[in-house]
Amino acid sequence: MQSDYNTHIKRIVLLLVVAAVLGFLAKKFATPTSFGKYGHYRADAIQDEVDRPLRHMTNESCLSCHPFEWELHEQGRHKTISCEFCHGTYADHVQDGKFAGRLPVKKGEEIKTLCLRCHNKAIKARPKDVIKTVEMPRHLEDQHVQVTHICNQCHHVHAPLIYINHAQKVLGIEEANNGKQ
């Protein structure tokens, strides 16, 4: 004989239904709308990443205000160096097309440290066909200048051989630097 007492079953079924509805609603409201558009992730996150503000620009972005330096830099051997590496980021200098802040100017020993980041011969791992390296202070001794000299006293930082080539031309010294400055 079947019992009439089935309240407990009704309760369990009701509980399961309520849990299923709650679960469904939770999933519906907690899942971001673009989730699953391309895969198991929020598709709008791609746009969020695209909208990240640019802090570095290119060397061309400096041209409009600094044409003299740009031209000098472009014809010299340092043309592959980014302006922003030595000077700081574009975003710290210009915001919305307007001047936003002065970039720090490297002076004295800072310049030497910056030059030796690339040109230090003591670091043997540098490929010789890519970069010309010097040994300090031997380079200064070889050039018969004081060992306290800073690199930019002879080398223009934007076009490192421009002064040297010019001086050699004036003095009539024929030491080929392949015509590059």
Asked whether position 162 contacts other proteins by CB under 8 A, the answer is no
Separation in Å, CA 7 to CA 1, 15, 17, 18, 41: 17, 12, 15, 16, 43
Separation in Å, CA 103 to CA 42, 52, 136, 147: 38, 22, 29, 29
Give the total of residues touching other proteins (CB under 8 A): 48
Q: Which of residues 44-83 bind other proteins (CB under 8 A)?
A: 45-46, 48-58, 60-61, 78, 80-82
Q: Which of residues 82-111 bind other proteins (CB under 8 A)?
A: 82, 84-85, 88-89, 94-98
Nearest distance from C-beta of residue 2 to other proteins, angstroms: 47
Task: Compute, in degrees rounded to 10, the torsion defined by CA atoms 131, 111, 116, 92.
Answer: -70
- Exposure on the CB side of residue 55, measured as CA atoms within 13 A: 5
Please answer whether residues 162 and 73 qualify as being in contact, where contact means their C-beta atoms are separated by less than 8 angstroms: no
Binds other proteins by CB under 8 A, chosen from 14, 18, 24, 38: 38
- Among the residue ranges 4-12, 35-43, 66-74, 160-168, the one whose residues contact other proteins (CB under 8 A): 35-43
- Among the residue ranges 2-10, 101-109, 114-122, 163-171, the one whose residues contact other proteins (CB under 8 A): 114-122
Q: Which of residues 119-138 bind other proteins (CB under 8 A)?
A: 120, 122-127, 130-131
Asked whether position 118 contacts other proteins by CB under 8 A, the answer is yes
Q: What is d(CA 84, CA 80) in angstroms, rounded to the nearest whole number?
A: 12
